[in-house]
Every structure is written in structure tokens, then in C-alpha cells.
Amino acid sequence: MTLKQHSILPGFGLTMGFTLFYLSLIVLIPLAGLLLKSATISWDQFYAAVTDPQVVASYKITFGASLVAASVNAVFGLAVAWVLVRYSFPGKNIVDAMVDLPFAMPTAVSGIALTAIYAPNGWIGRWLDPLGIEVAYTQLGIMVALTFIGLPFVVRTLQPALEDMDVEIEEAAASLGATRLQTFVRVIFPAIMPALLTGFALAFARALGEYGSVVFISGNLPMKTQIVPLLIMTKLEQYNYAEAAAIAVVALGASFAVLLFINIVQWWSRRYAA
């Protein structure tokens, strides 16, 4: 085996070097700093910091709400992407552009807007309130905010996958006697599964780190609606950098594990691809 193989694509050395440099600068060095900071306290202190009931509750809330939000997005994002790819209707471009709005809006603005709408006297909240459904200042509110910011990820990753799928594939399934449901479950869904997982993972990851929009709608009640990023902010405001770093490291580790798992599933579901 020769190490140096000549490729007709020039610039491998240069671009690979730049890639490593860039990733180090932007991703690895800050993360290493985080780890180092968390290492300035003893193991016992670290353990105490991350197992504090308030911290554990916030982990549950953040991961739980992110999971729900990403799942909701996976279902309804698929519906949105399907409509945008498969049908043409007046105003399609406007709807298409609207999908990106959660990307573009400052998260604080979305948070305040959602809070205003879902507060008991807000546009939507006033109809839900008599039904006993409270959104603002509850965990449901966190899920609503996380769903809002995660939607574009699912739609944008699914669109190319759906566009890629030939209508002939569906016609073939129908000609073989499959019903619409069978066609979807057996043919369409497996084909878009990898893209759906990517969208899910992106929406999930984004939700884990989301801060701006959630702090307004959640009300930040300890043990009830306090999310991990908020807890970290609180520690930072108390100049307790090491504990803040410790909480962040655990959150980071857990996120990484989840994303790795999704990647493995995705790799497995792509086994048939060329």
C-alpha cells in the first residue's frame, strides 16, 4: 500500500489541513477548554454538581422536551416537506420561504412572540385556557418553543430526499397491487428514513442547546421548567464557572451519545446505498 496516491483532484493536502485547523479552532479548542475548566474541581465536587436534584431535573426536562419536539417535527415536518415537494399550489413559494423563518428570527423574539400568543390571555392561549391546557410557563411551552425552532431542520433535509424519489417507484408499487398505505410504509418510508433521521438528529441537537426562545415561555421554575442551558447561565452569573462547565460536560456527553446512536442507525439504514 502506498501512502501517497496521486489523485486527479488537486489540493487534498491543503484542504484537509485547513479542515483540521478550522475544526480545531472552532470546535475542538473551545470544547477542550470546557473540559479543562470542569477538571479544576475534584471528582466529588463534579459528581455533586451534576447530581444535584435541580440539575438532574433540568437534564430530564431538556432531553425529554427536545425528544418530543424533534419527534413532533419528524412527523409534521414530513407532511410539510411532502406537500412542498409533491403538489403545486398558489403561494407555494411563500410557504416554502416561511419554513426558514425560525432559522432567521432572533430566538428571543420567537420566545416573546410564542409567550404572548400562548399566555392565558393570548390569541391561542385564551382558547386553550378554558380547556385546562396551559402552555406558557409549563413544560408544554418548552416543547412548543423547541418544535418551532426545530421545524426547518426536518423539512430542509427531507425535501431533497423526496425530490430524489421517482414517481415511477410509487407507480411500480401500485401496479404490483400495493395500497397507498403499503406503498408509504414499505417503499417510501424506508427510502426517506436516512434523511428523516438526519433531520430528527439536527432538530434534536438544536433543541438541546436552545436557550433564547425557551427562557421566555418556560417561566424557569426550578425542578419544573428549568432547562440545562438556563441552569448553566445561572451558575455563570454566580461566577461558579467550574460547576457550570461540569453541567455542560455531562449534557455534551449525553448529546454526543444520542447523536452517535442516530448516526449508527442511519448508517445501518443506508446499507443498500451505492
Interacting residue with another protein among 85, 173, 195, 262 (CB under 8 A): 173
CB of 184 to another protein, least distance (A): 12
Residue 87 cell numbers, joined: 403538489
Strand locations in the chain, DSSP E?
A: none
Burial annotation 20-44 (CB, 10 A radius, 16+ → b, else e): eeeeeeeeeeeeeebeebbeebeee
CB of 203 to another protein, least distance (A): 23
Interacting residue with another protein among 117, 124, 162, 178 (CB under 8 A): 178
DSSP 158: H
Query: Which one of the spans 22-30, 33-41, 140-148, 185-193 is the region binding another protein (CB under 8 A)?
Result: 185-193
Q: HSE, CB side, 13 Å, CA atoms: give it for residue 193.
A: 20
Query: Which one of the spans 22-30, 46-54, 151-159, 163-171 is the region binding another protein (CB under 8 A)?
Result: 163-171
Residue 59: CB atoms within 10 Å: 18
CB of 134 to another protein, least distance (A): 43
Interacting residue with another protein among 87, 90, 94, 168 (CB under 8 A): 168
172 binds another protein (CB under 8 A): yes
Interacting residue with another protein among 48, 174, 233, 252 (CB under 8 A): 174
The separation between CA 28 and the C-alpha centre of its own chain, rounded to angstroms, equals 21
Q: Among 85, 92, 50, which residue's Cα sits nearest to residue 240?
A: 50
Interacting residue with another protein among 98, 171, 257, 263 (CB under 8 A): 171
- Chain residues 250-269 in contact with another protein, contact rule CB under 8 A: 269
Number of H helices, E strands in the chain: 15, 0
Q: Would you tell me which residues interact with another protein (CB under 8 A)?
A: 166, 168-169, 171-179, 182, 186-187, 190-191, 269, 272-274
